[in-house]
Structure 1
Amino acid sequence: MIKRIAGLSILLTIGGILLLSFTTKEKTDFSSYSTAGLDLYYVAPNFNEIEDSDDFISPELGKSYLGFKEAVAFKESRGDYGVVNQFGYMGKYQFGKGTLDLIGIRGISKNDFLNNPALQEKAFYAYLSRNKWVLRRDLKWFVGRTMNGVEVTESGVLAAAHLAGPNAVKRYLRSGGVDGFADAFGTTIRYYMKRFGGYDTSFVLPNRKAKAQLEL
C-alpha cells in the first residue's frame, strides 16, 4: 500500500512538472507591423520577362539604331539568322510568313530566307518603317508619358510593334495600358517597351508602303 502511494506521488509530481513546462506564451502584438500608408503597388513580371544575365550589351553601339536592332535580334533569336522557333517564326528577327507577305517578301522558300542575311536586315527595317507610319499619331501623343510604370519612347513602341503588331500596340497605348497583349511565350508589350526604350530610331523613316526588295 505504501509503495502504491509512493508511486502515485511520483507520477503526480512528474505530471505537475510537465504541466508547468508548457505554460501559455504571450500573444504577439502585430499592431506595430501595420502596412497602412505604405505604397504596395508592384507590377510583377512573368517568368519570361525577368531580365537575364546574358542580355545583349554593346558599349560600342550604345543607344544607336544599330544598338537597337542588335538588341532586338538578341532577344528574338540570339542574333541567329538561321533559327526557326517552334511556332514557325524565322530568322534573326523571327518573322512570320504573314508579316513577310505584308512587306513584299513572297515566293521565297524558308531556306532561301534563312540563308539571306541581307534580306532579313531589309525586312527588319521595312517592317519598322511601316509600323512607324501606322503608329505616327500615337508616337506624337504618347512619347514622353509614363504608362504602367514605363516611360513611352519611340524605340520602345517600335520594338513592341515588332513583337505584337502595330494595332495591338495602338490599343495598348490608347487604353492607357489596360488593353494588353502577350505572345505565345508570355512576353508583353510593357516588357518590350521597357527593355528597348531610349534608343535612337530617328534613322527609321515612316513609310506606309515600305517593302523589302529581293536582290536580283
Structure 2
Amino acid sequence: MIKKFFLYSAILFLFVGANTSNNKIEETENSTFLHEVSKLDIPYLQNNFVAFKEALAYKESRGKYTIVNTLGYLGKYQFGKNTLSRIRIHNTRDFLQNPELQEEAFIALCEINKWILRKDIKRYSGKTISGIEITESGILAAAHLAGAGNVKKFLRSNGTNCFSDAYGATIKMYLRKFAGYDVSVIQGNRKAHV
C-alpha cells in the first residue's frame, strides 16, 4: 500500500513538474489534468511527506535517479557513499539504477535523522532562530543537507554555527525552504536500514 502510494505520488510529481516547467498552463489543461488525476485515485499532495520528499529531491537533483554530482553524491536525493554504507547499501552502481531502493534509502535516512534529532525537534519546533520558524520538516531537510550533528550545532548555537555545502546551500536555506510539511509518518529509528 505504501509503495503504491509513493509510486502514484512520483508519477503525479513528474506529470506536474513536466507541465509546470512551461510556466504557463492554460485553464483547460489544468481541468483536464485534475480530471485525469482524480481517475487515478491519487491523494491531493499539499504538505504531506510525499510532497516533502519530492520537493527535497527536486532541489537536490531535479528528481533524477541516475545523476551523480561533481562531488560524487548519488541519485535523486544525492546520497554520499558513507551515508549509503550506514544504511547497508554498498553497491553504488546498483543504487543508481534502482529507484525503489533510492526511495527506501531516503526513508531510512529520515528515520535515523529523526531519532538523532528527536530532542531538538521537540525543543526547537515552533521557535524562531535567525528569523526562521523552526519546523520538524525543516530540521529533517537540513539534516539531509548537512548531517544531524551540524543541525544540532546550528540550533544549539541559536543560528551562529551555520553549515554551508560546496555549492553554497546552507542549513538556514533548508530550514526555510522545507518548513511546514507534515512528516509525522516518519518514526525515529536509530537502526533504520534498507
Q: What is the TM-score normalised by the length of structure 2?
A: 0.77
Which of 134, 157, 167 is equivalent to 2:116? 134
Q: Confirm or deny that 1:111 pairs with 2:93.
A: yes
Q: Counterparts of 1:149 and 1:167 in 2: how far apart (Å)? A: 21
Structure 1 counterpart of 2:59, from 46, 69, 75: 75
For structure 2, the residue ranges without an aligned partner over 5 or more in a row are: 1-19, 22-42
Number of matched pairs: 154
- Cα deviations by residue, 1:13-60 (Å, 9 ceiling, x for unpaired): xxxxxxxxxxxxxxxxxxxxxxxxxxxxxxxxxxxxxxxx96xxxx94
Q: Which amino acid aligns with 2:103?
A: E
Distance in structure 2 (CA, Å) of the matches to 1:209 and 1:104:
11
TM-score (norm: length of structure 1)? 0.69
Tell me how far apart the structure 2 counterparts of residues 131 and 207 of structure 1 sit (CA, whole Å): 8
What residue number does 1:155 align with? 137
8 Å contact from structure 2 (residues 141, 178) kept in 1: yes
Give the AA of the match of 2:89: I
Misfit runs of 4+, over 2 Å = none
Name the counterpart of 1:89: 73
Q: Distance in 1 between matches of 2:185 and 2:88?
A: 21
Distance 2:140 2:88 in 1: 19
Tell me the amino acid that sits aligned with residue 119 of structure 2. Answer: R
Name the SS for the 1:94 alignment partner.
coil
Q: CA deviation at 1:112?
A: 1.1
Give aligned-pair identity as a percent.
55
Q: Whose Rg is larger? A: 1
Aligned residue number for residue 125 of structure 2: 143
Counterpart code for 1:154: E
| Aligned twin of 1:167 | 149
Counterparts of 1:104 and 1:172, CA distance in 2 = 28
Higher helix share: 2
The 1-side partners of 2:71 and 2:184 are apart by 32
Q: CA deviation at 1:105?
A: 1.1
Structure 1, gaps ≥5 residues long: 1-52
Match of 1:27 in 2: none
- Taking only aligned residues, the RMSD between alpha carbons, in angstroms, comes to 1.4
- Cα deviation 1:67-92 (Å, max 9, x = unaligned): 00000000000000010000000000
Mapped to 2, the partners of 1:208 and 1:175 lie a distance apart of 24
In structure 2, what is the equivalent of residue 65 of structure 1? 49
2:89 touches 2:95 (CA, 8 Å); kept in 1?
Answer: no
Q: How far did 1:62 drift?
A: 1.2
- The one-letter code matched in structure 2 to 1:72 is L
